Structure 1
Amino acid sequence: MNDEINIRDKSVSSRTFLKDVFICSLGAYGGPEAHYGVFTDQLVIKKKYITEEELIELIALTGILPGPSSTQTIVAVGYKMGGRKLALLTMLVWALPVLILMTLLSFLSQFLGAMNLSQEGFRYIGPMAVAFIVMAAYRIGRKVVSDKMTLLLLLFGALTTYFIREAWIYPLVLLIGGIVSILASKEKDLWNRVKISPPWKYLIAFAFFAVGSLVLSLMFNNRIIDIFESFYRYGYLVIGGGQVVVPLMYSEMVEISQYMTSQEFLTGFGLVQGLPGPMFSFSAYAGGMAARGGSVLTQVLGATAGAVGIFLPGLLLIYFVYPVWEKLKKIKGIKTSLKGITAVAAGLIAAAAVLLMQKSGFHIDNFVIMLITLALLFTKKIPAPLIVLGVLLSGFLL
């Protein structure tokens, strides 16, 4: 990896760029908003790979697209620096370390059984995870609720997804949010014409995997195919990153398919909060848990299917959209719809917090853990890994 890329009239090796991506991965805790801070510090201020304005534009682009938003943002930076090859390597360096760790953690319940340890020690991970979700809902809500319309859309998203626990409801309410935002806009010429020449082969590949995996899942009773189809669907239905995918994944993995218990789901989601890297890495844990009951290889394949399935749509969409982004972003309607979509997404996250707290149980000690975690997250004085470690110790000691 000695290819050189031109950055602000100077050349650096692709290897140097990927080292900086790895540094971002090691410091990226707390979801997309926190990740963007890391990107700004490392890629904009320290290394000047892109300007702050360019980074904000990429954040806007990935906010519109389905998939893991912070992952797509850093992949788009890689694409800008060195094309498709460097974009792919960027995603691997960014996501692979935590994906491997989450795959190993999918064997946690078997390990505890072999060691005669009770999973009761993880009982506070659920309330802690709720606190992380509440914090995400607060941060996003504060950012997106700017008027009465966005507040109503947030409440609409929260109430609808709280009472209707079906997979199809999530993309529907997000779509409605975007449409309402466009209809309420007073801007003129929202759908101004621009001439673009997109690389259609990537959109065709995107559709091929979507339709092909669904057909194979219906034709064959194979757990690995089912896992890939489910996670690929999560990857193209969800806008807004890992926090938003939680209610959809929980509904299907726990309530409908019953691949794992609520406690097991919350344990994995809580543990991923304390790990650096993309939130979508939770897919490796959930995929591995869903493939339990066979060999170790089968469980690893399940984790791999979950990880590849959830990240692949976002990568293909970046390959399709980024080359024409400079022209596409001139369409006012696309930017306008994002206002309503993000407001609804905040509502989805708020509903997920309430539902997951219900599953954890409204006990005094659960509330105490949740409130303490929230307080620590607001103060920002204690890193997420230490919060997770403290909650784990509390569960095993108390």
Structure 2
Amino acid sequence: MSIRRVRNIIFLKDVSILSLTAFGGPQGHFGMFLDLLVGKRGYLTEEDLIELYALCQILPGPTSTQTITALGYKIGGPNLAYLTLLVWMFPAFCIMTTLAILVTTAQDLNFSLDFIRFIEPIAVGIVAYSSYRISIKVVNTKVGVGLMILSAFASFIFKSPYAFPILILFGGLATTWKYKKQPIEEKERIKVKWANLILWVSVLVFAAVLGGVTQYQPIKLFENFYRNGSLIFGGGQVLVPLLYTEFVEFKQYLTSQEFVSGYGFVQAIPGPVFSFSAYVGAISARDLGMAGQLLGAGMAAIGVFLPGTFLIFFVIRFWEQLKKYRIVKASLEGIVAVSAGMVIAAAFLLFMPMEQKPINFILLFATVGMMHFTKIPTPLIIVGGLVFGIVIA
């Protein structure tokens, strides 16, 4: 067995360990990547990982998934990268799909889901605190604050999935005029290989046409999630307003409680937050039976993870040259601010349909307080709410 093959196997083993132990979203995942992939294994330097992570943050798609997939690409090429993606997402995908099937089965059997009712206010509290942290961490200019507030109002008022790409594009264009404030760097001629970008666009168009012609729900789910996965800047928190608007408000495939409870569940498991898509896809396909739910979960997960993978494969080849252009750096300020505004809107969108009971307000504010003033891991907060619900029920 060649040294290269052994190295690839060891890397996939490390990825599987991370998929079962990495909690806390991209920020939490980054710390574990740093410990295992840099400190213990030495696959790359700390500076290389930070730069790779920064690149993935400015691309649409799941940040931690793109980071670890791109590392697989650098180590062993496309084949290892796709295996890395599968190993990384598989445990969380299985857990969220199983939870979705259990939820729908319980409803079919008229089994009370009252024990999960406290997950909803806790999940709203998590989104609210996430919006606070994102806003104070990444938005630090007057223009950025203005764009964030505008984006929050627009996202809340225009409850259409088609409003989000327009807002993101507007945000990027709104700050390009500040490019002169960026430092000038010596630039090289950009050499672009277009294959992965063409593949990304081709799959998007093909899925939209095939879904429109067949009207087969699993294919339509793939198209829906592929489109959303192509538009999301900022990780799993930004996924929430897009999916809530499309699948709860617009298409009404899920109830608000089902959606928010699922988002609470995904906070309590390891792996990528984007695995929430499997839960939404499975419940959206509940009318097709258990086999249809499994297919819906698979189509949703593949759809939401693929765009970011194609895009990171495309960009990583010429990133060194592209990042030296000031107009690119300047546009990121607006994109990040608009994404932060979407998360703020998500907190309000999730809060509005929540049952207005004192216990729900107490749990919501208690969640925010614990996340801000203590070091209690988010999964433990979710599990605590679940146990409390079981005891009360």
With normalisation by structure 1, the TM-score equals 0.93
1:313 CA drift (Å) = 0.7
Alignment partner of 1:352 out of 325, 338, 346: 346
Q: Which runs of 5+ in 2 are unaligned?
A: none
1:132 CA drift (Å) = 1.4
- Secondary structure of 2:329's counterpart equals helix
Does the Cα contact within 8 Å between 1:202 and 1:319 map onto a contact in 2? yes
Does 2:12 match 1:13? no
1:292 CA drift (Å) = 0.7
1:217 CA drift (Å) = 1.5
1:216 CA drift (Å) = 1.2
Does the Cα contact within 8 Å between 1:126 and 1:357 map onto a contact in 2? no
Aligned to 1:77: 71
| Matched length | 392
Alignment of 1:4-43 (within 5 A): 4-5=3-4, 13-43=7-37
CA distance in 1, matches of 2:122, 2:182: 46
Identity in percent: 44
1:39 CA drift (Å) = 1.4
Does 2:167 match 1:163? no
CA distance in 1, matches of 2:328, 2:71: 21
1:12 CA drift (Å) = 6.2
Aligned to 2:120: 126
CA distance in 2, matches of 1:365, 1:308: 38
- Secondary structure of 1:186's counterpart equals helix
Q: Which amino acid aligns with 1:322?
A: I
1:214 CA drift (Å) = 0.7
Does 2:223 match 1:229? yes
- Secondary structure of 1:280's counterpart equals helix
Alignment partner of 1:366 out of 360, 368, 390: 360
1:84 CA drift (Å) = 1.2
* Distance verdict in 2 for CA 1:163–1:190, change over 3 Å: farther
CA distance in 1, matches of 2:375, 2:182: 46
With normalisation by structure 2, the TM-score equals 0.94
- Secondary structure of 1:260's counterpart equals coil
1:375 CA drift (Å) = 2.2
* Distance verdict in 2 for CA 1:85–1:159, change over 3 Å: same
Alignment partner of 1:271 out of 262, 265, 275: 265
CA distance in 2, matches of 1:55, 1:189: 23
Q: Which amino acid aligns with 1:198?
A: V
CA distance in 1, matches of 2:259, 2:252: 11
1:117 CA drift (Å) = 2.8
1:254 CA drift (Å) = 0.9
- Secondary structure of 1:239's counterpart equals coil
* Distance verdict in 2 for CA 1:4–1:168, change over 3 Å: farther
Query: Over residues 327-377 of structure 1, what are the superposed CA-to-partner deviations in whole Å (9 max), with x where a residue is unaligned?
Result: 222222222211221121111101101110111133211111112222222
1:191 CA drift (Å) = 11
Aligned to 2:168: 174
CA distance in 1, matches of 2:383, 2:365: 16
Q: Which amino acid aligns with 1:149?
A: V
- Secondary structure of 1:107's counterpart equals helix
